[in-house]
């Protein structure tokens, strides 16, 4: 955080107020809970629970914990969404004290404000639609507190998933029609960054919470969790690729030179965020190259004790560290205000054919490296442990 305080001293940079830090961080925690948990449950947990060989008792325990987690994710989304909307009101126009912006009347006036000149729709109308979808999503998740609804957690998660995604996607719709290609691409990359990041971080948090049920799971739960971690590692790899590509575009738009990373407030905040994300990637690499191969070897050797230890004790410890790094990333996000280019008096970034060519080359190289990572992890998984010495023959 000392780096972020240093950012406050750079020319042209204004440190966000504490209410702005709390509301924006809280909002992305809410999105991570709603989007990350529904996507991860549908794409990772649900298929693993439905696979052959999964014990009915273990599946029941994990479904109940998943339903409770999703329900609380709905509560967090609802509360965080309200405070985020109040923060928008406080920053609109000439601004107002955050305490005043919390009043429902002030919020309603903001949502009913007419469209700006040249806009195809009022910004307040977009936020009204977004928050209606947010309330519907939160209500669907919160309904899982009801025992009768909890029995249908699969259906609720499937229904809430597209609604949760719509919460952020609607907010990314520009009220003014884009006039050039860059203005069309900016919201696409921005929403790609948000969705992939929330799926990654929210999924990690859900799986850590589910791993807390290990005391109530049977001895065969290691096989189930090996499948869950395997499935999520694929989801996480896709998210890493999407976060990296979209992050490169957004960084290029806002940072005009490497030196701006330590001479501007935006750059310092971005540098801290990148360091934290690299920590997340390093932890994921440890999982991919060390833990996943050992889990596969224990599974192949039918070593239930080692499999249970690796999947429900060792793996969650690493993931807890990833969750802590992820929360730190969300705390840094509010400090990414403005643009390093603006602070440095640099020209606005304008795309060109060479920029797109370089971006395509980077994306291809990234895809190739992720593919190589998956193949290398698979190769390590197939390595056999050294065979034990043969017992001496007896007469």
Cα–Cα distances in angstroms (integers) from residue 323 to residues 23, 219, 277, 314, in the given order:
19, 27, 11, 15
Q: What is the pLDDT of residue 155?
A: 96
Q: What's the pLDDT band for 272 if we cut at 50, 70, 90?
A: very high
Higher pLDDT, 244 or 306: 244
* Residue 56 pLDDT exceeds 90: no
How deeply is 264 buried, as exposed, middle or buried, from its count of CB atoms within 10 A (0-12, 13-18, 19+)?
Answer: buried
Dihedral sign from CA coordinates of 282, 287, 291, 296: negative
Cα–Cα distances in angstroms (integers) from residue 329 to residues 101, 106, 169, 275, 370, in the given order:
27, 31, 21, 9, 22
Q: What is the pLDDT of residue 393?
A: 40
Q: Which two tokens stand for residue 279?
A: 């920590």
Q: What's the pLDDT band for 32 if we cut at 50, 70, 90?
A: very high
Instruction: Output the average pLDDT for the chain.
Output: 88
Q: What is the pLDDT of residue 95?
A: 81
- DSSP one-letter code for 144: G
State which H helix or E strand residue 162 sits in: helix 153-171
Q: pLDDT tens digits, residue range 197-238?
A: 999 999 999 999 999 888 888 877 888 888 899 899 999 999
Q: What is the pLDDT of residue 26?
A: 97
- Span 37-51, mean pLDDT? 93
Q: What's the pLDDT band for 387 if we cut at 50, 70, 90?
A: very low
Cα–Cα distances in angstroms (integers) from residue 160 to residues 34, 37, 42, 143, 167, in the given order:
8, 10, 10, 11, 11
Q: Supply φ then ψ for residue 269, to 5 degrees.
A: -65, -40
Q: What is the pLDDT of residue 53?
A: 67
Q: How far apart are CA 373 and CA 195, in angstroms?
A: 23
Residue 350 backbone zone (phi > 0: left; psi -120 to 50: alpha; other: beta): beta
Q: What's the pLDDT band for 392 if we cut at 50, 70, 90?
A: very low
Q: What is the pLDDT of residue 14?
A: 84
Q: Which of 131, 116, 122 is nearest to 170 (CA)?
A: 131
Q: What's the pLDDT band for 11 if we cut at 50, 70, 90?
A: low
Q: pLDDT tens digits, residue range 63-87?
A: 999 999 999 999 999 999 999 999 9
Q: What is the pLDDT of residue 10?
A: 56
Q: pLDDT tens digits, residue range 88-106?
A: 999 987 889 999 999 999 9
Q: How far apart are CA 55 and CA 220, in angstroms?
A: 8
């Amino acid at each position: 955080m000392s780096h972020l305080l240093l950012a406050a001293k750079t020319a042209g940079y204004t440190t966000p107020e504490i209410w702005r830090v709390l509301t924006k961080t809280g909002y992305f925690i809410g999105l991570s809970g709603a989007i990350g948990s529904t996507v991860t449950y549908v794409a990772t947990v649900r298929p693993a629970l439905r696979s052959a060989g999964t014990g009915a008792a273990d599946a029941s325990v994990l479904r109940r914990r998943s339903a409770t987690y999703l329900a609380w994710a709905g509560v967090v989304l609802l509360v965080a969404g309200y405070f985020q909307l109040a923060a928008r009101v406080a920053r609109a126009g000439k601004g107002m004290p955050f305490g005043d912006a919390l009043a429902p009347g002030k919020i309603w006036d903001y949502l009913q404000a007419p469209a700006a000149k040249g806009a195809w729709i009022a910004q307040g109308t977009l936020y009204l639609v977004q928050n209606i979808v947010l309330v519907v999503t939160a209500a669907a998740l919160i309904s899982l507190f009801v025992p009768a609804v909890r029995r249908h957690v699969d259906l609720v998660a499937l229904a809430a998933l597209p609604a949760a995604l719509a919460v952020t996607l609607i907010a990314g719709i520009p009220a003014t029609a884009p006039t050039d290609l860059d203005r069309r691409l900016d919201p696409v990359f921005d929403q790609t960054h948000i969705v992939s990041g929330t799926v990654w971080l929210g999924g990690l948090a859900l799986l850590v919470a589910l791993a807390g049920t290990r005391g109530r799971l049977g001895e065969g739960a290691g096989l189930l969790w090996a499948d869950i971690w395997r499935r999520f590692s694929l989801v996480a790899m896709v998210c890493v690729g999407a976060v990296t590509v979209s992050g490169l575009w957004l960084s290029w738009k806002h940072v005009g030179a490497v030196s701006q990373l330590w001479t501007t407030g935006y750059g310092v905040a971005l540098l801290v965020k990148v360091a934290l994300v690299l920590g997340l990637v390093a932890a994921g690499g440890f999982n991919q190259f060390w833990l996943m191969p050992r889990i596969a070897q224990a599974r192949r050797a039918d070593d239930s004790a080692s499999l249970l230890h690796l999947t429900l004790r060792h793996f969650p410890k690493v993931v807890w560290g990833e969750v802590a790094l992820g929360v730190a990333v969300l705390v840094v996000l509010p400090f990414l205000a403005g643009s390093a280019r603006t602070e440095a008096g640099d020209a606005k970034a304008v795309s060109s054919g060479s920029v797109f060519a370089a971006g395509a080359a980077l994306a291809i190289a990234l895809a190739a490296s992720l593919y190589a990572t998956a193949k290398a992890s698979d190769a390590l998984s197939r390595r056999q442990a050294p065979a034990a010495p043969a017992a001496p023959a007896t007469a």
